[in-house]
Amino acid sequence: MVVGALCLGIGFVSAPSTVDEAKEMVASAHGDGHGSAHGSAAEHTNDTHGNDHDAVNAHANTEAHGEDHGAAHDEHVFHQLQNRPWSALYVAAFFFFMISLGVLAFYAIQRAAQAGWSPILFRVMEGITAYLAPGGIIVFVILAMSVMHFNHLFTWADEEVVAHDALIQGKSGYLNPTFFLIRAAIFLAGWIAYRFYSKKLSLAQDEADDNSNFVKNFRLSAGFLVFYLVTESMMSWDWIMSFDPHWFSTLFGWYVFASMFVSGITTIALITIYLKSKGLLEQVNNSHIHDLAKFMFGISIFWTYLWFSQFMLIWYANIPEEAVYYISRIEHYKLPFFGMLALNFIFPLLVLMNSDYKRVNWFVVMVGIVILFGHYLDVFNMVMPATVGENWHFGVPEIGGILFFAGLFIFIVFNALTKEELMPKRNPFIEESRQFHY
Amino acid sequence: MASKVIHAVYTDDDILMNAVKKVRAEHHHIEEIYTPFPVHGLDKAMGLSDTRLAITAFLYGCLGLTVAITMMNFIMIEDWPQDIGGKPSFSFLDNMPAFVPIMFELTVFFAAHLMVITFYLRSRMWPFKEAENPDKRTTDDHFLMEIGIHGNEDELKELLLDTGAIEVSVKEKDA
């Protein structure tokens, strides 16, 4: 109870300030974003849509400078500029949603593998996955608005485009708004349901006098992992790959998975270290941190392996219909594209290789922040080139999006952490986990 | 010069661990311990310093990476930059993705093999090497602690029997 009250205190001290800050940031982004109303399209779509249109067109025209930029080009640039705040919103929303989904997968794996070291961290993971439902619903709403033409994020959702595009026509059996939303609803329902029941069983186990809840949770987790692998893969086709409906890649689902998995593990490590520094997780020792850091290190390399496998196969064969994906990225996104490789691979590789550094909290926190930023850039690189093309900036809408969702994430997660005891009471492995030493 | 050593034989690794702590508390220098399997925590109890094998492996890996880069840069880019299937052999970076699998493998190869060889050299292991085992049973189920004697034979014997040794014997040893 004391721990719970303390957590509540921390939750309220740390969270609302960031949410307010975030909202302020987003609000100020609306005020002065780009000298016109691009920024505000993110949340005030209805009332500013007309103004936005004119302002951006004017902007595009001044840029055109009397050159032979035709109406088609203006139209194209206009769509891209209009997409920018939407994409910024979507990237941030998806990134934070993906963190909690990655944590959920990690949690299910720990349960299914009957890991002896991690039960001490289960409540932290359950706290982080509390963001799954609200975050997932926000992403779903953005997706629904996208396919209902509030924006131009998905070109395949635009009937006019599809009418002139034989390739998308061929895919419309899969990529059509109704089926798209039904799939999204099924994925989200499955994930949220697992999270709900698993947490319920986990809490029931604390009060029970046998291990039946634990066994049920084990079976549920194993079942969830099967469901998750299939749905995660399809989710990555739907929610990310379909931004480029002409392009396809078979290992894309794994690639997105690696990205969310490593971000999720990093977030677990950061929140664990934070709670420990506040004296709330006394029994977490540096061996637990060491294990989390090993996972951060290993999955970072796994991510790089998949990134490179995808890149190198396409680069090597250089089939035009596939290579265009990387050409647009390398041409217009050189810094984020290769920068993320340094952040997500070289930096953790060199810093987390040493076994002693993996036990030092500030090292893990520093690498964790770099990894999280690197994977934000990863999502940025996957989404932006398809939606805003060369008109990208890392400016006010993007930062506003990050701050808003970071604030929301922190608020929900720390709020959820106050709701339960941070230490599971009678998990069969909890004693082993307490004594864990590597 | 021949010196005397005392051999204490144990049958249980827990007893051995306690004995090591006791002997060290009495400030006797343990020359060597022979065990049939790795005893977790024995190196810490004996106060042995950490191995630096991992550091050598990292350096060997760097060497392997350098070898790979130098080799392919010379062969593919500098010496004979042919057009092979349209691959851009104008500079190393242009064609780098194609070299990465080799760079990776050579890094691992150098790191692994040179580290193993380093291990053999440092622990003096090679084919036809004469085994240095003082007691055959230590390869099966006995543990043996060897301590040098410096004129304190009886006192040492007493102490070792106290720690649970099943057998204490004094041996001549060629230095």
Q: Does residue A353 belong to the interface with chain B, where contact is any CB pair within 8 Å?
A: yes
Distance CA A436, CA A116 (A): 8
- Residues of B within 8 A of A355 (CB-CB) are 54
Judge: A308–B97 Cβ closer than 8 Å, yes or no: yes
Sequence-separated (6 or more) residues with CB below 8 Å from residue B115: B53, B56, B57, B60
Query: Which of A308, A337, A346, A357 is the best substitution to test chain B (most B C-beta atoms within 10 A)?
Result: A308
- Residues of A within 8 A of B59 (CB-CB) are none
Rounded to a whole number of angstroms, the distance from the CA of B49 to the nearest CA of chain A is 15
For B88, the closest chain A residue by CA position comes to A316
Q: Does residue A308 belong to the interface with chain B, where contact is any CB pair within 8 Å?
A: yes
Judge: A316–B98 Cβ closer than 8 Å, yes or no: yes
Distance CA B169, CA B171 (A): 6
Q: Does residue A186 belong to the interface with chain B, where contact is any CB pair within 8 Å?
A: no
Judge: B100–A353 Cβ closer than 8 Å, yes or no: no
Distance CA B82, CA B85 (A): 9
- Residues of B within 8 A of A318 (CB-CB) are 86
The pLDDT of residue A311: 94
The pLDDT of residue A261: 95
Judge: B97–A318 Cβ closer than 8 Å, yes or no: no
Distance CA B109, CA B88 (A): 27
Tell me how far CA of residue A414 lies from CA of A260, A301, A410, A428, in angstroms.
20, 30, 6, 26
Rounded to a whole number of angstroms, the distance from the CA of B8 to the nearest CA of chain A is 30
For B97, the closest of A316, A353, A355 (CB atoms) is A316
**Residue listed under structure tokens 């509390």:** A130
pTM score of the predicted model: 0.85
Positions in chain A whose pLDDT score sits under 70: 1-71
For A312, the closest of B58, B86, B100 (CB atoms) is B100
Rounded to a whole number of angstroms, the distance from the CA of A312 to the nearest CA of chain B is 6
Alpha helices in B30-163 (DSSP H): 42-46, 53-72, 96-122, 153-162
Distance CA B16, CA B11 (A): 8
Judge: A316–B86 Cβ closer than 8 Å, yes or no: no
Over its C-alpha atoms, chain A yields an Rg (Å, rounded) of 23
Mind giving me the DSSP string for A69-133? --HHHHHHHHHHHHHHHHHHHHHHHHHHHHHHHHHHHHHHHHHHTT-SSSGGGHHHHHHHGGGHH
Judge: B54–A318 Cβ closer than 8 Å, yes or no: no
Rounded to a whole number of angstroms, the distance from the CA of A212 to the nearest CA of chain B is 35
What DSSP state is assigned to residue B2? E
Judge: A308–B100 Cβ closer than 8 Å, yes or no: yes
- Sign (positive/negative) of CA torsion A327, A328, A329, A334? positive
As for the ipTM of the complex, it is: 0.88
What DSSP state is assigned to residue A245? T
Question: What number of CA atoms fall less than 13 Å from residue A217's CA on the CB side?
Answer: 27
Rounded to a whole number of angstroms, the distance from the CA of A354 to the nearest CA of chain B is 9
The pLDDT of residue A386: 87
Strand order in the sheet with B30-34: B30-34, B143-148, B2-10, B167-174
**Residue listed under structure tokens 């930023």:** A373
Rounded to a whole number of angstroms, the distance from the CA of A353 to the nearest CA of chain B is 9
Instruction: Look at residues A59, A84, A57 and name the one whose alpha carbon lies nearest to residue A71.
Output: A57
For A307, the closest chain B residue by CA position comes to B97
The pLDDT of residue A65: 42
Question: What number of CA atoms fall less than 13 Å from residue A185's CA on the CB side?
Answer: 7
Distance CA B51, CA B47 (A): 12
175 residues of chain B, pLDDT tens digit each: 457 888 999 999 899 999 999 888 888 888 899 999 999 989 888 888 889 999 999 999 999 999 999 999 999 999 999 999 999 999 999 999 999 999 999 999 999 999 999 999 999 999 999 988 888 888 998 999 988 888 778 888 888 888 888 888 888 876 5
Instruction: Look at residues A268, A227, A130 and name the one whose alpha carbon lies nearest to residue A235.
Output: A227
Distance CA A342, CA A356 (A): 22
